[in-house]
Amino acid sequence: MQDIIHWEELPTGEMTALWHPYILSGAVNLLQGDSTAGKSYLSQAIIAALTTGQALPNAEPMPPCNVIIQNAENSFTHVIKPRLQKLGADFTRIKSIDESTERLSLMSPKIEETIVKYNAKIFTIDPIQAYMNMYRLESVRETLVSLGQIAARTDCAILLIGHLTKSQTKAQYRGLGSQDIFNAIPSVLNLGKADEDVRVMVHNKSNFFEIGCPIAFTLKDGFNWIGEYDITLDELLAGSITPQRGHRREKAKEFLQDILENGEVDSVEVYGRAEASGISRRTLERAKSELGVRSKQYVGGWVWMIE
């Protein structure tokens, strides 16, 4: 027999974010993109930062925390650990539930037990398609409800990582499987390629906070954050660059070479002067990547430099 909840006895709380506003604490989150977009690499860069207390883009540093990784596609020893090592992760803070003999069920009590035991702040499941039948509507709903309840009870961010379809449906609904997945998850992130070197994470959906700015990174010469990027979800998924954009990018390259020729310049000043010169943030970020311009964080913000 089910108990009765007395609302006058319920505590009043508020939604918080592990990485504001992109990844919610105490909730299920979704990161989705094409197979070559770099979803796993991005999730591992986030994990590395969380284990060492490094600030994520547009966020303040936080105390190092424990994380849990479940990955059904890549070898822990040959792919994920070497990558995390390059990213500077603290391995003493990373745990995984052993799936060597049996695939983890997303309905397993082991998930909550492990989160509680290690006080984990994020639990990643990569890819979600390997753990759940995406087309069985009842199964999808039941699993998401269960994961949501675990997240709420533990205040852990559960991050599902999934592939996109190649269908021509509306961009936000191109996740593989039932549209119920998109509708049921409060924060959805899409990842795609702006060009061969630049990958961009677009905040597709947010139920509790404002939509975050697109955030770009490059995998050229290892993982490096670029920062905010001017692009829409439809533009990102289309992946086309017009000749006019190419011309604007050359102008942006010349601008960056001029402004940075004498050393570091605060990113706020770079953006401001670029805007005054008629250069969009998106074009500036692409030019930054192609020139190999680096960002360095200091107490008050970021500086740009050409190495």
**Mean pLDDT by groups of 10 residues along the chain of 307 residues:** 87 91 97 90 97 94 96 94 97 97 95 98 95 80 94 97 68 58 90 88 94 91 86 78 58 88 89 87 82 83 85
Q: Report yes or no: 290 and 197 within 8 Å, Cβ to Cβ.
A: yes
Q: Which amino acid is at 43?
A: S
Q: Looking up tokens 């310049």, which residue turns up?
A: 265
Query: Does the domain spanning 243-306 belong to CATH 1.10.730?
Result: no
Q: Report yes or no: 176 and 164 within 8 Å, Cβ to Cβ.
A: yes
Give every CB contact of residue 260 below 8 A, 6+ residues apart in sequence: 270, 293, 304, 305, 306
Distance CA 242, CA 246 (A): 7
Q: CA separation (Å) from 205 to 24, 61, 71, 273?
A: 12, 24, 24, 31
| End-to-end CA separation in angstroms for the chain | 67
Please name the CATH architecture into which domain 7-230 falls.
3-Layer(aba) Sandwich (3.40)
Q: Burial code of 244-277, b = ≥16 C-beta within 10 A, e = fewer?
A: eeeebbeebbebbeebbeeeebebeebbeebeee
* CATH 3.40.50.300 domain range(s) in the chain: 7-230
Strand partners for 175: 164
Q: Report yes or no: 104 and 140 within 8 Å, Cβ to Cβ.
A: no
* CATH 1.10.10 domain range(s) in the chain: 243-306
Q: Burial code of 64-84, b = ≥16 C-beta within 10 A, e = fewer?
A: bbbbbbbbeeeeeeeebbebb
Strand partners for 306: 293
E strand or H helix that includes residue 73: none
pLDDT of residue 39: 94
